[in-house]
Amino acid sequence: MRLSAFALSTTKETPADAEIVSHQLMLRAGMIRKLGAGLYTWSPLGMRVLRRVEAIVREEMDATGALEVLMPAIQPAELWRESGRWDLMGDLMLRMHDRGEREYCFGPTHEEVITDFVKRDVSSYKQLPVNYYQIQTKFRDEIRPRFGLMRAREFIMKDAYSFHMDEADLDREYHVMRAAYTAILDRIGLDYRVVAADSGAIGGAKSEEFHVLAQTGEDELAVSEDGRYAANTEAATTHRPEGERAAATGELKKVATPGVATIAQLCQTLEVPAEKTAKAIVVMGEDARPILLVLRGDHTLNEIKAENLDGVATPLTFAEESVIREHFGAGPGSLGPVNLNIPVIADFALANAGDLVVGANYDGAHFVNFNWGRDSIEPQFADLRNVVAGDTSPDGSPLQLLRGIEVGHVFQLGDKYSKALELTVLDENGKAVTPQMGCYGFGVSRIVAAAIEQCHDDSGICWPTAIAPFELAIIPIKADKSAAVREACETLYAECRAAGIDVAFDDRGLRPGPMFADAELIGIPHRIVVSDRGLEAGTLEYKGRRDSESQNIEHSMDAIKQALGRTADE
Amino acid sequence: MRLSAFALSTTKETPADAEIVSHQLMLRAGMIRKLGAGLYTWSPLGMRVLRRVEAIVREEMDATGALEVLMPAIQPAELWRESGRWDLMGDLMLRMHDRGEREYCFGPTHEEVITDFVKRDVSSYKQLPVNYYQIQTKFRDEIRPRFGLMRAREFIMKDAYSFHMDEADLDREYHVMRAAYTAILDRIGLDYRVVAADSGAIGGAKSEEFHVLAQTGEDELAVSEDGRYAANTEAATTHRPEGERAAATGELKKVATPGVATIAQLCQTLEVPAEKTAKAIVVMGEDARPILLVLRGDHTLNEIKAENLDGVATPLTFAEESVIREHFGAGPGSLGPVNLNIPVIADFALANAGDLVVGANYDGAHFVNFNWGRDSIEPQFADLRNVVAGDTSPDGSPLQLLRGIEVGHVFQLGDKYSKALELTVLDENGKAVTPQMGCYGFGVSRIVAAAIEQCHDDSGICWPTAIAPFELAIIPIKADKSAAVREACETLYAECRAAGIDVAFDDRGLRPGPMFADAELIGIPHRIVVSDRGLEAGTLEYKGRRDSESQNIEHSMDAIKQALGRTADE
């Protein structure tokens, strides 16, 4: 491509309303332009990257035997009412009426539509398993669209839906999809982690997320040191530590802590580290009586885990202050497990702890040297909290916390949608069976932004070659004054194209500075500079996008191919 | 592709609600499935055809240097208000509110968005010309969606928009796009015509439509015998015939025609052919006085032409009966050009006619032997009517009328949108200039249906090879009983794939009848049958989709390639 005919539109200035690097660089490189809140037009430059991602995703999906379809963007409300999600989806879903006043939504996802499709087309076990996928624009009416493509309202997803006669076959396909996602991310060339995830509102049993690692990632991931265990911190589990509980070393003693409302204040007042303190949170039980949850002072409650505990009310409900005062005789800042006649559930991290500082159930007072069993009943211990760096992972090695950007999610949905929409197929014996379903989402436009978050420097984007808009930039020096430079560039441009190299020839007639800056900003992985001096010496100046220095290479296609990491035959 | 893994879903029955062949066959072949009124899911089979069309369109657009972009489907109302089309578009446009109660539409077209995009990115003449295109799902809220994809509410368009410094450059690009569309349709392999068109509501000067010929086409086309002239009948012109007016042969004579209200009744009553009669239509002039339009009895008024006449009110307004009675003294069934004091405009076709039958301006009476000049003032002659078969085209040869399906439309928009949205760029002298704009639409999903309307027979679809879902079907006979047949099929399947032939191997274990029927219904251009008898004789049974008989060919890849019209090296 000649850049003179490519409508490149870059800027030096960082746009004021772009908060994160990928948004800033996509705007500066001119990959996207804003039309309205959360709505972007992809420019020719952006499209080249998007199409490369799309092609990789399509190839890997096709390789698994999944079949491409295309479902309508606009979906009738009735289907969503059948699944029970019309009301559940709330304001995130863009709704509308047609001229006949029938209700529709701009589909944020297609479980209902594909289940309806399969219902019309599949009647026998012979037609299963089947896995349908599509690559399509979705809409989510974000309350505060921001971060460019990371939280856009319109975005492109690859979504796939599989149908199976039983759970074992669903599990098989789930692992096929998991492997396909791994292949896609390996081919794109990003550092990522597959993490255990909570299935959330979409329902179902097993699910994992694919996260591209980046310091700016929205999600926190807990990954074991040897990499065998990884989970979204929301879903990462902790367990009861091995070994014995620490022995008590002193007597339970009430101390005055006037005005202390937080663990930080408590640590400061009593000069104890936070890990020697316990904090108490009161939630309501299924029987409408309160339950005391106790965590180490420096840990945080994981509400999903708490909600899943036996006896705890769903959804998780924190006790009103009046209820707390009635049962504890004190306010929320001074609660503890001593002298209670309500259930106590303590986090595993406290199971072996002794000599703790706990609330005294007396306003402005705490106990020191609290020990389980001696100073209170022995509580139930459970996994109540979010993991922290250094926790032991289920595989035994310490967990580290990383930040990631979710770009893929695979789910075992089970029969949630097939049941709700009354999809059945006949098995070998002619008996109607409700198929098991899996769904698999991949953020096609999102991964473009995620790649930039992971791969950039002060000069701009550093694309992985597989999704770079161009592989190589050819930059002429003083082409206006040198016929030799012009001719050499034209020859190289033709030869590179003939060799299947996707080349951007900067024939815009700019000074070297702006050409170098553009090539770096838009992230072309390789560049060669053609100058009179080089031509006289028989050399080209080569620089990889991440190289600190340029180097002279022979003026030949073989040398260029070698610099690009290709063999001479490629 | 093994058909056992392809989720093919065909039916013998013609669906009750499918009125036209393409809709019937797409449903029967299982290419699409209905989700709601005018909303269809494309199945894996349909997607293969759609993707092929898309690839051809993309390649030909890229070859012209047009740059691919992707604009949001959801567009803010403000932009449409700026162009004045928010109110103009009416109920065809699907409108909605986001959670912030801002108004949006599901873009049926993108003139406003691209103009806004160019406004942000282009400021200098150096950046023009530029032509942006996208391939995208559009929505049109049809009052009565029907005919499957032919009048679907959701459909896929390739839309392109070009920007230019002057009209000459717009005209140049217009012809580049016209040539690209011709190349696309030639590659797809359909019989089509490029016809002059009326620009309609979209505005602008020059426009042409691309029509795929089919007896079921919605549009009527007037095409000259030698093909040099073609126009939508709405836009086809007529002209004043050469030669002399026929001489009068008898006296003007009033005859009673009681109860005659139509030309058909008049012809029957007076025993004259319709081409010897004239009918009169009264429209209002710009001065609010009536004007009489006179056409040959067997011709029909072209309202667009009438509206464009000097002195005729816009929009075209037919006179009320009270106005007619006041000026003519008779009702609409008995009007004529005799004894009037209002302007008379007669169609060119009547310019040389003599001895006509005309209304007498007296209820229940007509004149026979009416002759212009002798029996009335000499009227103004003009092009007032729709063309008919046999009319002389502007190039002198007779016109024939064909039916077509519009699949493409190229427009010279001029400055309509650039002016409305205040897009200017600086010219060489630093002067702000409003760019000229062209727009070019191509119906990507529509042409799939149009191809079927043109290419089918009683057994199903007969795809042109370029967009066929598969090129070749391999059909085994009694594979369950013959290891030799199974092995030969597997070998052929592997060899065909290695040779780059897109092959459908019917390994579903069906009887021959259903396999043949499916291959014909879904329109695979070539098929080979593998049987024990053939294997013994060293032959395969080959049949082209449109062949009446099958033939035995040598059991070799060379023979298959030859049957497919490829050279042995291909």
Position A570 scores a pLDDT of: 66
Chain B residue numbers touching A36 (CB-CB < 8 A): 72, 75-76
> Do the chains contact at A130 and B7, CB–CB below 8 Å?
yes
CB A136 within 8 A of CB A71: yes
SS3 letters across B163-185: EECCHHHHHHHHHHHHHHHHHHH
| pLDDT for position A198 | 64
Q: How many helices (H) and strands (E) does chain A have?
A: 15, 30
Residues of B in contact with A95 (CB under 8 A): 96
Does pLDDT of B149 surpass 70?
A: yes
Q: Which of B270, B272, B283, B371 is nearest to B327 (CA)?
A: B283
pLDDT in tens, B209-220: 999 999 988 889
Residues 360-379 of B with CB under 8 A from A: none
A186 touches B: beta carbon within 8 Å: no
Q: Can you give the pLDDT at residue A226?
A: 77
Q: Which residues of B touch A6 (CB under 8 A)?
A: 67
Percent of chain A's residues with pLDDT above 70: 98
How high is the pLDDT of residue A229? 83
Q: Across the interface, do B139 and A41 touch by the CB < 8 Å criterion?
A: no
User: Which of B5, B40, B121 faces A65 most closely, judged by CB atoms?
Assistant: B5
Write a three-state SS string for A400-415: EEEEEEEEEEEEEEEC
- Is the CB of A84 inside 8 Å of chain B's CB atoms? no
Amino acid in position B270: L
Question: What local confidence, expressed as pLDDT, does residue A200 receive?
Answer: 47
Phi-psi region of B249 (alpha: psi -120 to 50; beta: other; left: phi over 0): alpha
Q: Is the pLDDT of residue A199 over 60?
A: no
Q: Best mutation site among B99, B140, B156 for testing chain A: the one with the most A CBs within 10 Å? A: B99
Q: How many helices (H) and strands (E) does chain B have?
A: 15, 30
Strand stretches in B522-562, DSSP E: 526-530, 539-544, 551-554
Query: Is B121–A43 a contact, with Cβ atoms under 8 angstroms apart?
Result: yes
- Range from A215-219, A488-492, B43-47, B455-459 carrying the lowest mean pLDDT: A215-219
Chain A within 8 Å of B127 (Cβ-Cβ)? yes
For B299-316, write each residue's pLDDT tens digit.
Answer: 999 998 999 899 999 899
Calculate the alpha carbon distances from A514 to A45, A490, B126 in Å.
17, 20, 16
Cβ contacts of B137 on chain A, cutoff 8 Å? 73, 137
Q: Write down the mean pLDDT value for chain B.
A: 93
Mean pLDDT over the full length of chain A: 93
Q: Has residue B227 got a pLDDT over 90?
A: no
Is the confidence at residue A204, as pLDDT, over 80? no
* Cβ-nearest to B121 among A30, A95, A113: A30
pLDDT, one tens digit per residue, over B361-395 is 999 999 999 999 999 999 999 999 999 998 888 77
Q: In this complex, is the C-beta atom of A96 within 8 Å of any C-beta atom belonging to chain B? A: yes
Please tell me if residue A89 touches chain B, with a CB cutoff of 8 Å: no
Q: Where are the beta strands (DSSP E) in A126-232?
A: 130-139, 154-164, 192-196, 207-213, 219-224, 230-232
The dihedral through the CA atoms of B314, B318, B324, B326 has a sign that is negative
Interface of B with A in 34-63 (CB under 8 A): 35-36, 39-44, 46-47, 50-51
For residue B41, give the nearest of A70, A76, A106 by CB distance.
Answer: A70
Minimal Cα–Cα distance from B251 to chain A, Å?
Answer: 59
CB count within 10 Å of CB A248 equals 17
Specify the pLDDT at position B251. Answer: 93
Q: Is it true that the peptide bond before A273 is cis, omega within 30 degrees of 0?
A: no
Q: What distance in Å separates the CA atoms of residue B25 and residue B32, rounded to the nearest whole number?
A: 10
Q: Report the residue of B1, B41, B80, B156 to disrupt the A interface, i.e. the one with the largest count of A CBs within 10 Å.
A: B41
**pLDDT digit string (tens) for A409-459?**
999 999 999 999 999 999 999 999 999 999 999 999 999 999 999 999 999
**Cα A444 to Cα A155: distance, rounded to the nearest angstrom:** 8
Interface of B with A in 99-118 (CB under 8 A): 99, 106, 113, 116-117
Q: Which residues of B touch A112 (CB under 8 A)?
A: none
B563 — pLDDT class (breaks 50, 70, 90): very high
Residue A510: list chain B partners with CB under 8 A. none
pLDDT for B201 beyond 50:
no
Count contacts between A and B (CB, < 8 Å).
146
| Cα separation values, B85 from A35, B77, B108, B420, B490, Å | 18, 9, 12, 10, 59
With contacts defined as CB-CB under 8 Å, which chain A residues touch B120? 33
| Interface contact flag, B35 A121, Cβ < 8 Å | no
Of A135, A120, A100, the C-alpha closest to A442 is A135
Cβ contact B35–A69 (<8 Å):
no
Report helix, strand or coil for B455.
coil
Those residues whose C-beta lies under 8 Å from the C-beta of residue A345, and which sit 6 or more positions away, are: A291, A292, A293, A294, A309, A379, A380, A381, A382, A384
**Could you say which of B65, B68, B139 has the minimum Cβ distance to residue A74?**
B139
A266 touches chain B (CB under 8 A): no
What per-residue confidence (pLDDT) applies to B570?
65
Q: Is B98 on the interface with A (CB under 8 A)?
A: yes
Compute the CA torsion angle B118, B121, B127, B133 (nearest 10 deg). Answer: -50
Q: Which two tokens stand for residue B555?
A: 């059991």
Show contacts of B491-494: CB within 8 Å, 24+ apart: B492/B528, B492/B530, B492/B540, B492/B557, B492/B560, B493/B2
> Is A74–B120 a contact, with Cβ atoms under 8 angstroms apart?
no
Looking at residue B184, its pLDDT comes to 98
Q: Does B70 contact A47 at a Cβ distance shorter than 8 Å? A: yes
pLDDT band with cut points at 50, 70 and 90 for residue B200: very low
Give the relative orientation of helices B44-63 and B167-188 as an angle to the nearest 10 degrees. 140
Q: Is A313 exposed, middle or buried (0-12, 13-18, 19+ CB in 10 A)?
A: middle
pLDDT computed for residue A86 by the predictor: 92
**Among partner residues B33, B91, B132, which is closest to A120 by beta-carbon distance?**
B33
Stretch among A14-23, B132-141, B439-448 having the lowest mean pLDDT: A14-23
One-letter amino acid identity for A321? E
Residue A210: name the closest of A225, A196, A198 by CA. Answer: A196
Please indicate whether residue B341 or residue B358 has the higher confidence score (pLDDT).
Answer: B358
Question: What was the pLDDT predicted at A75?
Answer: 95
Task: Render pLDDT for A461-475 as a digit per residue (tens, 0 to 9).
Answer: 999 999 999 999 999
CB A165 within 8 A of CB A271: no
Which uninterrupted H or E stretch holds B407? strand B399-414
Residue B204 pLDDT grade (very low, low, confident, very high; cuts 50, 70, 90): low
Question: Any chain A CB within 8 A of the CB of B67?
Answer: yes
Does any CB of chain B come closer than 8 Å to the CB of residue A123?
A: no
